[in-house]
Amino acid sequence: MHSYLSPAKLNLFFRVLHKRLDGYHEIVSLFQAIDLCDRLYFIPSRADRITCTDSTIPVDEKNLVVRALACFRAHFPMPAISIHIEKKIPIQGGFGGGSGNAATTLWALNELSGQPATVETLIALGASIGSDVPFFFSLGTAYCTGRGEILEPFTLPSPLSGYLAKPHYGLSTVLVYKNLQVENLSKRDLLEVRYPSFFNDLETASFAIEPRLHILKEELQRHFATVVMTGSGSAFFCLGGKPPIMEDVTFMPFTTLSRPSLERWY
């Protein structure tokens, strides 16, 4: 049996430029891996089997782990395998948990089959599965453009630590983008959109769908210096403060996470 950490990510800033002809949105975002992690177990088996500690998560083709296995096998020989997902990352929070699981699966399968694929190939395979998947092949911090699949290495001046605030409800990424209004997008100059800018262009659309999120952010801002939604929500990362006692909100401490090298996983 082999096990691998599968980290969550934050979007330290998230700028949406426009909707593309292919239906995706052109973005500029600083992605950051954090120490909130799932763990995936890979066990040789007579037949493929995917299991998960969270019974609400499907283990069919809707699961990106299943799609990653099929994608890798379409390009390289891979015997039957059992994959168990030990879930810690909340779903529909904007943490990219499913995308991280897919990237971890591609990395693990490549190692277990003798590394037939280069990192560049794994990134390309990941991009075919989901826009956030390629990021996890970075060293843990990346300036991402395109639909998120174009990576530019980035190094934070110092590690970040804070708290995650996850309300007990989620948001659909598809629904958030569907409700995104061009007139509500940031007009920030791209040359100025660099760390330490903290903002998220998706907040307005998310708040319109779920007004409780706007109320939650205002309450969090009474206790933290910086409060920004990650991804399409519903979670926020909070810096410079301590979490209050709030009903229906789970607070989790976090710190930034990085890979030791491009040859080793998290």
Report yes or no on 96 lying in a domain: yes
Domain boundary among 153, 185, 207: 153
Using a 10 angstrom Cβ sphere, with 0-12 exposed, 13-18 middle and 19 or more buried, the burial of residue 185 is middle
Report yes or no on 166 lying in a domain: yes
Report yes or no on 47 lying in a domain: yes
pTM recorded for the entire structure:
0.95
Using a 10 angstrom Cβ sphere, with 0-12 exposed, 13-18 middle and 19 or more buried, the burial of residue 188 is middle
**Are residues 60 and 120 both part of a single domain?**
yes
**CATH number for the domain that contains residue 211:** 3.30.70.890
Name the band, by pLDDT with cuts 50, 70 and 90, for residue 10.
Answer: very high
Domains in the chain: how many in total? Answer: 2
**CATH number for the domain that contains residue 67:** 3.30.230.10
Supply the range of the domain harboring residue 179: 161-255
Catalytic residue ranges: 9, 132
Q: What residue ranges in the chain does DSSP mark as E strands?
A: 2-19, 25-44, 49-52, 81-86, 141-145, 150-153, 161-167, 199-200, 224-229, 236-241, 249-255
Encode pLDDT of 11-48 as tens digits. 999 999 888 888 888 999 999 999 999 999 999 999 99
**Are residues 165 and 149 both part of a single domain?**
no
Encode pLDDT of 200-257 as tens digits. 999 999 999 999 999 999 999 999 999 999 999 999 999 999 999 999 999 999 999 9
Report yes or no on 263 lying in a domain: no
**Are residues 22 and 124 both part of a single domain?**
yes
Report yes or no on 36 lying in a domain: yes
The torsion defined by the Cα of 64, 257, 29 and 210, in degrees rounded to 10, comes to 70
**Are residues 251 and 180 both part of a single domain?**
yes
pLDDT value of position 186:
66
Assigned token pair, 50? 């995917």
